[in-house]
Every structure is written in C-alpha cells, then in structure tokens.
Amino acid sequence: QHESQLQAEKINVLSELAASFAHEILNPLTVTSGFLQMMKQTGIPDEKKQLFNRLALEEVDKAQSIVKDYLSFAKPQFETQETFDAKTLLEEAGAQLRSYAQLHHVAIEMFLEEKLTVFASREKLAQSISHIVKNGIEAMPQGGKLIIVGTLQNQRVCIDVIDHGVGMTQEEIGRLGTPHYSTTQKGTGLGMMMAYRIIHLMRGKIEVISEVGKGTCFSISIPASGSASFH
C-alpha cells in the first residue's frame, strides 16, 4: 500500500519535473532565436550585432545552467535507498565544500550527534544538503560562519543549516522551491525546487526561518531508520 503510494508520487514528481523542464528551457531558446534572427538583418550596426551576440550567448548559458541543474538532480538513483549514518554524510558534505567556503571567506562549523541513522537515498540527500549549504555560503558575500547541526529529535534526524547572510523576506521564503525563483545572475531557482521535492519524497520536511540582513536557518528533518513513522 505504502509502496505503491510512494511509486505514484515518484511518477507525479517526474512528470511535473519534465513539464517544468520543457517550460524552463524553451524560454532562453526562444530569446536566443530572436537575437540570432535580428543579427541576420542587413544594415545593423556592428555595435548592435555585438550586443545581440552577447545577449544570445547569455541565454545559451542560461539554458546550459538549467540542463546542468536538472541532470545533477534527475539521475535515476531513487531506487537505491539504503540505511546509513547521516553524520558521515554531513561530514563528507562539509569536507567537499570547505574550499568553496574558504573562497568566500566562510568557516563551516559542525555540531553532530552520534548515530543519525536514516534510510534514504544517500546521493540525493547529499545533493540537497550540499545545495542548501552552498546557498548559505553564497548568502554571505562578506564571509562569515556557517553552522551545520545534526541531532536526533522525536525519532527524526534533524539537520539545521544556519548562515548569517543576507536573509529573506516572508514572500521570498514562500517562493523558495518553486521554479523561476532566483535572485542570482546565473541562478535557475531549480536547485531549491529539487531539494524540496527530494526531501519530501523521503518523507522529510523543510522549514525555513529567515530575517533580512540577519541570516537564515534551513531545518530539514527525515524519519530516523527504525522509527515508528518509518516503513
């Protein structure tokens, strides 16, 4: 019963993803095509041509980012669910992002309890966490401290990612996890959408607390392996 429900949900997510992918990719392609058409016209000054060329390239870049974001999340690894220690996963994610953090003058600090055992897709969870940590680093343009806390609470493994960055308004928080929402130049707004869906598929929850100019806390919780809410 539960299994087929989960299966149906996966198919739902996949078709939704395919639809938003098509939609997302079509937009920059249409714009690129427009610029290329304009460049073909006779009597266009060189300056204008250069401009159209640059804008067309920017749109192609955008399309590339969209495809890359989709590929990094859409690999069919969902079947490979396993029991593992989220503590190790968090340590590995932290280690992988350490040089990226240093580049942004951000220090990563971790407070992790022992035995954070979950049954989930290891790679997908790692991707989601890395993405949230990366966003946290990017939210601190002056550098600062990023804190990762891993605890066991009420048979759920809770992961908090706390930054002291630019923060978000209530409205911005509400738009997180929906496509098209991005404030960065090359951003696609897809990363968060994928992270939300993946975590929900694992019967997880994401809560966001944020204050503009102060920082943001992403709280993720997924059922601990062997807990009552776990089947």
Measured from the Cβ of residue 87, the count of other Cβ atoms closer than 10 Å reads: 17
44: left (phi over 0), alpha (psi -120 to 50) or beta: beta
Least distance CB 90 / ligand ADP (angstroms):
17
Encoded one letter per residue, x for contact with ligand ADP by CB under 6 A and - for no contact, window 131-160 reads ----xx--x---------------------
Rank residues 34 and 187 by Cβ distance to ligand ADP and give the closer one.
187
CB-based closest residue to ligand ADP? 187
Per CB under 6 A, the segment of 30-38, 70-78, 99-107, 181-189 that binds ligand ADP is: 181-189
Residue for token pair 């600062």: 144
Which of 181, 200, 203, 227 forms a contact with ligand ADP (CB under 6 A)?
Answer: 181
Q: Closest Cα partner for 90 from 114, 106, 110? A: 110
Beta bridge partners of 92: none
What value, to the nearest 5°, has the Cα angle with vertex 60 and ends 59 and 65? Answer: 95
Residue for token pair 């974001």: 69
Half-sphere exposure of 168 (CA within 13 A, CB side): 20
Contact positions with ligand ADP (CB under 6 A) in 182-201 = 182-184, 187-192
Give the count of residues interacting with ligand ADP (CB under 6 A).
20
What is the amino acid identity at position 135?
N
Half-sphere exposure of 160 (CA within 13 A, CB side): 17
CA-CA-CA-CA torsion sign (29, 12, 126, 170): positive
Least distance CB 158 / ligand ADP (angstroms):
17
Least distance CB 216 / ligand ADP (angstroms):
4
Least distance CB 43 / ligand ADP (angstroms):
39
Least distance CB 189 / ligand ADP (angstroms):
4
Residue 127 interacts with ligand ADP (CB under 6 A): yes or no = no
Encoded one letter per residue, x for contact with ligand ADP by CB under 6 A and - for no contact, window 160-179 reads ---x-xxxx-------x---
